[in-house]
Amino acid sequence: MGHGWEGVVLKLFRGRDFTFTVTGTERVTEDFLRIRVTDGGLLDATGGAHPTMWVRVWFERDGKPHQRAYTLVDPDPAAGTFSLEFALHDGTASDWARAAKPGDTVDATLQGTRFTLPEPRPARLFLIGDMASLPAINSLLDALPGTPATIWFETAHDQAGELPLRLDPAHHTLRTVPRHDAGARLVSEVKAALPGLLGSDTSDAYVWIACDTATTRTLGAYARKELAVPRDRVDALGYWRAG
């Protein structure tokens, strides 16, 4: 399958192409599917993985290519494997995931994924996300074990409690927020709680935000401008656009 004009643009920006092979699938919940793949040499070519590392995976619909970004889950550089997780709904990527079986292949392009934890390492984490960013949230919790974390998790489903958030009850506090008014409820709850949790000294905190684009922009600007969290201790990346 060709990758169309998007593939050409990614090549111009030094995107590198790989082919993943499915080795197994796991239905985590009715609406959440994990697919294990071999990496086609990706982890060897990049020297390993970092928290929140993602790739653009290519799917075909009506003879045309479409790409979606997915976080690498449990990457194993020695074995050359990782998983991809899919929040299932109506769509091309979900249709592919539902039908995937061992031996199937899918193309992917690595371009645009960069991440560095601030130094000194954060003493406190404040993570704001949803089902689309759940794998990235888990990668951050894995990267900083034992670090106190407050997670605001927006959900439109009743199964949030069944999702595989890697919580350590001794160090992590989860605040689930039903999605209302295009993310306005999440914004309101974060603004109500975050100032008191941060306190006056924000130098040891790290705020990471990955929701729909509009919500992410609003909360990223709020953390930087109104709460004075240092810019290198706020990461805000819109994972999807609300229709």
Q: Which of 76, 72, 189 is nearest to 138 (CA)?
A: 72
What's the domain range around 96? 4-110
Two tokens, residue 94: 């979900």
Question: Residue 8: its pLDDT value, please?
Answer: 46
33 occurs within a structural domain? yes
- More reliable by pLDDT, 33 or 89: 33
- More reliable by pLDDT, 31 or 207: 207
Question: pLDDT tens across 43-61, in order?
Answer: 999 888 999 999 999 999 8
Lookup result for tokens 């000294």: 201
Lookup result for tokens 């699938």: 25
CATH of the domain at 24: 2.40.30.10
Q: Single out the residue in 52, 85, 110 at which a domain terminates.
A: 110
Question: Residue 156: its pLDDT value, please?
Answer: 78
Q: Single out the residue in 110, 133, 155 at which a domain terminates.
A: 110
Number of domains in the chain: 2
243 occurs within a structural domain? no
Question: Residue 12: its pLDDT value, please?
Answer: 44
Please give the average per-residue pLDDT across 92-115, as a whole number.
91
Please state, rounded to an integer, the average pLDDT across all residues of the chain. Answer: 89
CA distance 170 to 166: 12
Question: Residue 4: its pLDDT value, please?
Answer: 55
Task: Provide the percentage of residues in the chain whose pLDDT is more than 90.
Answer: 70
Question: pLDDT tens across 135-188, in order?
Answer: 999 999 999 999 999 999 998 765 555 778 999 999 999 999 998 887 899 999
Distance, C-alpha 6 to centroid of its chain: 21
**CB neighbour burial string for 58-96, b if at least 16 within 10 angstroms, e if fewer:** bbeeeeebbbbbbbbbebeeeeebbbbbbbbeeeebbeb
